[in-house]
Amino acid sequence: MSSHSNSKIELHKVGQSFVTNQHSVSLFSDLSFSIEQGRSYAITGPSGSGKSSLLMLASGLEQPFSGEVVYSYNGQIQPISHIRSEIGFIFQQFHLLPEFDALNNVALPLKLRGDKQALAIAKEWLEKVGLGHRLKHKPAQLSGGEQQRVAIARALVFNPKFIFADEPTGNLDAQSAGEIADLLFACCRDKGAGLVLVTHSDYLAQQAQQQLRFNAGECQWLSTELGSKCHA
């Protein structure tokens, strides 16, 4: 996707720590890499190794303890907050609005942009994720897997430049997981979105163009053209 190759999120020597029982625990430090539009990345590793924290930092939803995260376009550097409206995030906990039905949950990002076609586009996306028959159901009336698919449709409905997904297939059966994986990678490939996945699924991780493996405070790139190391 050469037309998007100059659009990227850059992490410069980022580190993240948290305090527990008055002790500071470092998840990772001095990590630098770029997330380019039109490329896919998978972050893998054991639970608690810092994968979700890295996802939150890279998307601008959290601030790093050290270093910085910026958006770069044609060499012009901007704060990551400048493209928040261009980032779709799929949370592990869904974060659907309980008072809204599936259709209005998915339409919300478009409504906030003033899109007059919000409901029609949301309906199309719910059909893409296999929920065309559940448009009027509220989250409490949906299974965990169905809620996950609503959350995925909501993250993709406005054609974001970057998609961040925390265990996007974690609540889905094998067939649904495969279909959702295909949808996410198609958005990356066909619409030129940058895609970053945190996943325990080897199947999903191996479809990404680049893999970042976290383990015991160290991380390494697998099957990647980039050379990058970080230390906790």
Q: What is the mean pLDDT of residues 190-200?
A: 94
Q: What is the pLDDT of residue 232?
A: 46
Q: Residue count of the chain, please give it.
A: 232
Whole-number Å distance between alpha carbons of 219 and 33: 12
Higher confidence at residue 9 or residue 219?
9
Q: What contacts 24+ positions apart, CB below 8 Å, involve 171-177?
A: 171/144, 171/145, 171/147, 172/145, 172/148, 173/145, 176/130, 176/145, 176/149, 177/201, 177/203, 177/204
Instruction: Tell me the CA distances in angstroms from 78 to 13, 72, 73, 100, 117, one per residue in order.
Output: 17, 6, 8, 34, 30
27-41, 47-61, 105-119, 218-232: which has the highest mean pLDDT?
105-119
CATH number given to 2-231: 3.40.50.300
Whole-number Å distance between alpha carbons of 116 and 158: 13
Q: What is the pLDDT of residue 69?
A: 96
103: pLDDT confidence band, cut at 50, 70 and 90? very high
Give how far the C-alpha of residue 20 lies from the chain's centroid of Cα atoms, to the nearest Å.
27
Higher confidence at residue 27 or residue 196?
196
What percent of the chain shows pLDDT beyond 90?
64
Whole-number Å distance between alpha carbons of 7 and 151: 25
pTM equals 0.90
| pLDDT greater than 70 at residue 107 | yes
Q: What is the pLDDT of residue 27?
A: 84
Token pair, residue 217, equals 């405070």
Tell me the residue ranges of DSSP E strands in 6-92.
Answer: 7-20, 23-36, 40-44, 66-73, 76-79, 87-90
Domain range summary for the chain, segments of one domain joined by +: 2-231
Residue 116 sits at φ, ψ, to 5 deg, of -70, -20
8 Å CB contact between 144 and 170: no
| pLDDT greater than 80 at residue 202 | yes
Q: What is the pLDDT of residue 26?
A: 83
Higher confidence at residue 219 or residue 156?
156
